[in-house]
Chain A
Amino acid sequence: MVGEDLKLSVRDLSISYGDQLALSGVSLDVREHEIFGIIGPAGSGKTSFLRTLNRMEILQENMTVEGSIVFGGRDISEIKNVFALRRRIGVVFPLPVGLPLSVYDNVALAPRLSGIKEKGALDEIVERCLTRAALWDEVKDRLTALGSMLSGGQQQRLTIARALSQNPELLLLDEFSIAVDPVTTMRIEDVLKELKQEVTIILVTNLVQQARRLADRTAFFLSGELIEVGETEDLFSGKVEDQRTLDYLEGRFG
């Protein structure tokens, strides 16, 4: 059930690359245990938005962020350990990335970095996360194979397994289905629907129908601005606040 507690509160967020404004004046809330969809054409600032949620802008040279982001009650610009923040947030990118370690080590990486050392505990985590990511059956006999040599669809599911191995509170998915075949996409969508009970999910997608299938509420970004946020059902049945949202949903541009 979608809770009323807020997982994430964003106020007046602005992102610039050098002197190029990429996103301005974004304010929104994400509730616990909901799937929050973000749609919009390419270049509207969706990916930049995601990157600020786990403070990845620190690692990029000319990226400046203004505004406030409150995660689980804390303003993330005031915390002392940014790595702890990132550990609590799992991220899946558009391009599948299998690390050049064994499949086992790919999934055991995050737990090990958090201090878990006993083989029994790690074995259990690896199997659980690979199963949740719908990959276990395909790799259970080749856990020593290099993650970077798996197929694209497998690498994407491996990425999800890695994200799950962090035991995250928040899962960010950025157009995860781009480099993945439709069957795998469907499997992953089923996984997400299950995960919703334990994890809050933000799903950036360029597939409007995917948002319709999965998201409880959806936000529409256009040219660096947040146009509106609404219940997915409402938006898709035409109850929008801004005409541009309707235009985008009906495929008139983007």
Chain B
Amino acid sequence: MNHSDADKALAVEPSMFSATNLNAHNRRLQWLFRALFGLMTLILVIPVGVILAVLIVRGGPAISIEFLFSHPSDGMTAGGIFPALIGTMWLVAVALIASVPVGVAAAVYLSEYAPDNWLTRGINLAIINLAGVPSIVHALFGVGAFVIFAGFGTSILAASLTLAVMTLPVVIVATRESLQAVPLAFREACWNMGATRWQTIRTVVLPNAISGILTGVILEVSRTAGETAPIMFTGAAFFFPFLPLSVFDQTMAMSMHLFVISTAVPGVPDELKYGTALTLITLVLLMNAISITFRSYLRGKKKW
């Protein structure tokens, strides 16, 4: 630590710290600031609880086995959300199949192979930007690339691939972090024994990173399930009477369904809307909670 940096940081008038710690006035100020910032934090995190509470109160009554397992009826003003749930599962599954192998490969490259050059910097920049591109722009890309150019039409395939590209950064970042957490010494020991890079990775590095990868995957699932814009024009249907049978079918989806019944269908009872929102948010928050719990469980299980 360069002490001159600290000195520069403190290069101010000598009277700045003239009040001593024990001064009662300062002690009160201290408490005030702590309370102020604490209050700000509270205001930030309370909405989660409030929202959940409102959704549970107003939507809870709608939740039932029937609600979850039956189709919408009466022009979607009644009935259940079953096809939307199934649709979301399809979309998430295909998106995972498409994005996890690519994401893990990319993370392995960045962590184990990539030299420190402009290409690597470019890749990192591309990842940051992929994550920052607006979801509607991803939708436009999906339309241009998958629906039209690749000829998949509006389908689960096009929508899932659009979602996969959008959530790729999540998998890459989570995987890369867990790979980099494995100490270099382990790799060097293996290399010195004549193991190839791949042998080292599959014996020592990947097995210890799997749990981190899983955390990232669970996170990806929750993000994918909640996205609406990327699937609106690439495969999610306003209303689709049948359950999808192949990746080339269109489908309903939870996120799209919530959007539709709250903006495009007249006469939907409030309870139904809140119930749908509640189901979706529960799904997403549950996945996140699992991911978080898993992460802290892992932190306790040290292997070195």
Contact = CB atoms under 8 A, between A and B. Distances in A.
Interface of A: 54, 56, 59, 61, 83-91, 93, 95, 97-101, 109-110, 113, 146, 148-149, 159, 162-163, 166
Given A89-B192, A90-B193, A97-B186, 20 more contacts: A54-B192, A61-B116, A83-B196, A86-B192, A87-B194, A93-B185, A95-B185, A97-B189, A99-B186, A100-B204, A100-B303, A101-B203, A101-B204, A109-B190, A109-B203, A110-B193, A113-B195, A146-B303, A162-B189, A162-B193
A98 B303 CA distance: 11
B204 A99 contact: yes
A88 to B, nearest CB: 8
A148 B195 contact: no
Contact of B191 (A59, A90, A148): A59
Contacts of B129: none
Contacts, number: 66
Nearest to A159: B189
User: 3 closest pairs, A vs B, by CB?
Assistant: A87-B194, A86-B194, A148-B304
A238 B192 CA distance: 37
A84 B194 CA distance: 6
A125 B186 CA distance: 22
Nearest to A163: B193
Given A83-B195, A148-B303, A99 B115 contact: no
B105 to A, nearest CB: 20
A197 to B, nearest CB: 23
B208 interface: yes
A89 B190 CA distance: 12
Interface residues of B, number: 19
A164 to B, nearest CB: 11
Contacts of A101: 203-204
Contact of A113 (B188, B192, B194, B208): B194
Given A97-B185, A100-B208, A109-B203, A166 B191 contact: no
B199 interface: yes
Contact of A56 (B115, B192, B195, B304): B192
Contacts of A113: 193-195, 199
A68 to B, nearest CB: 22
A146 B301 CA distance: 13
Contacts of B199: 113
A114 to B, nearest CB: 8
Contacts of A97: 185-186, 188-189
A86 B191 contact: yes
Contacts of B190: 99, 109
Contacts of B195: 83, 109, 113
Contacts of B188: 56, 93, 97
A161 to B, nearest CB: 12
A83 B194 contact: yes
10 contacts: A61-B116, A83-B195, A85-B194, A91-B192, A93-B185, A97-B188, A100-B303, A101-B203, A146-B303, A163-B193
Interface string B172-208: 0000000000000110111111111001000110001
A162 B189 CA distance: 9
Nearest to B208: A100
B113 to A, nearest CB: 11
Contacts of B208: 100
Interface in B260-284: none
A166 B195 CA distance: 11
A87 B193 contact: yes
Contacts of B196: 83
